[in-house]
Amino acid sequence: MEKNVKISMLLDTYGKMLTEKQYKLLDDYYNNDLSLSEIAENEEITRQAVRDNLKKGENNLFEYEEKLGFMKKTIEQEEKIEEILLELKKIENKISDKETIKALEKVTSKLNCLV
């Protein structure tokens, strides 16, 4: 997984555990695609201060994930749901009973909401 995407996901998962400043800087950099210079100008701090805060925030996010593992569990859960959906589709293609097909479609719909 690309680093920027991973950090963005970690920020969604653990962002509230960071300081407000770290969260804002990481959000601006990774989610709002602002440059170090743009963030520094907006926050009235140096580019180096932005970079230092980003690195500290990133390290905190990776540490939280290492200890808690919520994002890993979420990704694994989504992969399992995708596998189940594929199996349901195979079953649906082999069945002609309309009631069973409707039940499978209902289950599939509910699983799709989780992914």
The domain segmentation of the chain, as residue ranges, is: 3-68, 74-112
Mean pLDDT of the region 66-83: 94
pLDDT of the residue at 1: 74
Q: What is the structure's pLDDT at 6? A: 94
Which two structure tokens, joined as six digits, stand for 4? 């920027």
What proportion of the chain, given as a percentage, has pLDDT over 70? 100
113 pLDDT band (50/70/90 cuts)?
confident
CATH of region 3-68: 1.10.10.10
Average pLDDT of span 68-80: 94
Average pLDDT, the chain: 94
State the first-to-last Cα distance of the chain, in angstroms, to the nearest integer: 18
Crossing angle, helix 70-94 and helix 47-68, to 10 degrees?
Answer: 60
Q: What's the confidence (pLDDT) of residue 93?
A: 86
pLDDT at 45 exceeding the cut of 90: yes
Q: What is the pLDDT of residue 56?
A: 98
pLDDT at residue 92 in the model: 85
